[in-house]
Chain A
């Protein structure tokens, strides 16, 4: 176990380096930050001087090494767009995104898993079919359209919920939270629904698919033969066995929630990481983009490690040593 974790930590460092390298190759194609940083009246000499000062004239490997060197020292640089330290920007934004992602993930799980179980157990009921069909409608419209429709209905027509931003946040020192005020929660509702919709559908369908499979397996049949009550079978045996793929997907989905939050945050002007990176891309804010990508890479490494550890916890069979099987 310990060796496994150490090994994964080494791999994590490799992943981060790879991400940083790919990022720097990428930045060559996003555009030139200088035109965004300097107004139309700046002279060509001023532009060239700025380019030189930012080190953009250096070869990519040099820029890459400089970035790695600075990052290792915890120095993420200044945002090209707003001239603030990137670490400060991220510290400001991270809570907003994490809270949004957390609420969406919980929403997707709390609604998606029971719906999946239900549609799995009652395959042919009308309600099951309704769930399956309606959830599909929800995901076949682009996130931005769903967001706007929700805003139009609940913000403009009904006037029940706010249309943008985070509203009342409470400052807990390093962390600005929406969880402690009603206003904060009211601002969370629409964006988290928008963000959760796809995950909810995916989880529901996945749980259903797994339930269907598991319910036909021999040991469930044995359990039935043994006269165990349906309830015990369904929840004690069947559900437990559906959890491996669900955990995989959930781990993945927390990651893609981060990615999806780019659009959701843009639509709702949610001051989180998604908005930061999108504006970063549009402005060619290289320090923001590279720090974001490295941070997200870190997230994935942690999430995947957790998922792998969870596998061990959920499914004892996986504890068998995973050696190269075919050699």
Chain B
């Protein structure tokens, strides 16, 4: 059986699995534990608020910072409204191009969330599946996957992004470059992260597979895929969730670093990370609002996602309840 066909046969099970979890979630202890934890409720509300704010940016943001023609350089460097020189039109001040900081945070968050979530999901899915296979099947499959991981780890995300960007650039017509840039980023960031998942899952799988319950299942003739899916996977999800929530922050920050090196999103449509990167240059000169507000938004986002992740990890783990 090839690795590819195994992945395919696994796929339908995943939906059922998620369905299971959701069902368990609503009628069970999980929901109860949610209700009992005020921190989790706050984190949940904040996350929802941020996601809504980002998603609805085109309708509720005070300015459309993506509409480049509306920007006026004369509005640049305005401090927040409560400082002298501030203007009610720009609650959190403006940046060096005259974009309202509040509006650009909302639009930037949209982009960052998209890049962050998409790349982490991609990396987690690929990494977990390969890690499971590698750890459980072992032998040659393990060697091949882990050696690919070695090769992969060697290349900094910057170089991967340049590579994918270059290939895309030479394959696609000029007009499409800007549209695909974001996918280039997602794939590049995911490519630089899947190994973390794969190696961790593999490590845990190696431990799990020798435990009594797995050996028992094997003895009674449960198919390997079923064992991996039903028994091993749930037990390696803890570390995966930890890495996934942390990777979200990392993905958003990687995107900022990449844009710094010229392979990120276009500066005319800044992401949260790009805003921080631009504002970073103005830290010494007193225009603190250009960094601090986007930075704060990112901290709050990462914090609440991780708190949710912590709770979810504990709550979904039957042994911890």
* A residues with CB within 8 A of B: 7, 11, 14-15, 18-19, 22, 25-26, 28-30, 129, 132-133, 136-137, 139-145, 148-149, 152, 198, 201-202, 205-206, 209-210, 212-213, 216-217, 244-245, 247-249, 251-252, 255-256, 259, 262-263, 277, 281, 293, 296-297, 300-301, 304, 311, 315, 317-318, 320, 322-326
Complex contact B283–A19 (CB within 8 A) = no
Complex contact A252–B238 (CB within 8 A) = no
Complex contact A245–B239 (CB within 8 A) = yes
Contacting A at CB under 8 A, from B179-228, are: 195-196, 199-200, 202-204, 206-207, 209-210, 218, 223-225
A contact residues around B207 at 8 Å (CB): 244, 315, 317-318
B63 at the interface (CB under 8 A from A): no
Residues of chain B at interface, number, CB under 8 A: 74
Complex contact B303–A15 (CB within 8 A) = no
A contact residues around B261 at 8 Å (CB): 281
Complex contact A245–B203 (CB within 8 A) = yes
Complex contact A137–B199 (CB within 8 A) = no
- Least CB distance from B142 to A in Å reads 7
Which B-chain residue is minimally distant from A248 (CB atoms)?
B203
Which A-chain residue is minimally distant from B262 (CB atoms)?
A282
B165 at the interface (CB under 8 A from A): yes
Interface centre among A22, A212, A245, A256 (most CB of B within 10 A): A245
- Least CB distance from A240 to B in Å reads 12
B166 at the interface (CB under 8 A from A): yes
How distant is the Cα of A263 from the Cα of B261 in the complex, in angstroms? 11
Beyond the given A143-B253, A247-B203, A248-B199, please list 20 additional residue pairs across the A-B interface where CB-CB is below 8 A.
A22-B155, A26-B166, A29-B166, A29-B167, A132-B310, A140-B298, A140-B303, A141-B298, A142-B257, A142-B276, A202-B243, A213-B317, A213-B320, A216-B319, A244-B207, A245-B239, A255-B153, A318-B210, A322-B138, A325-B209
Q: A142-B276, A248-B199, A326-B136 are in contact. Are A201 and B257 (CB under 8 A)?
A: no
Contacting A at CB under 8 A, from B280-321, are: 280, 283-284, 291, 295, 298-299, 301-303, 306-307, 310, 313-314, 317, 319-320
Which B-chain residue is minimally distant from A28 (CB atoms)?
B166
B270 at the interface (CB under 8 A from A): no
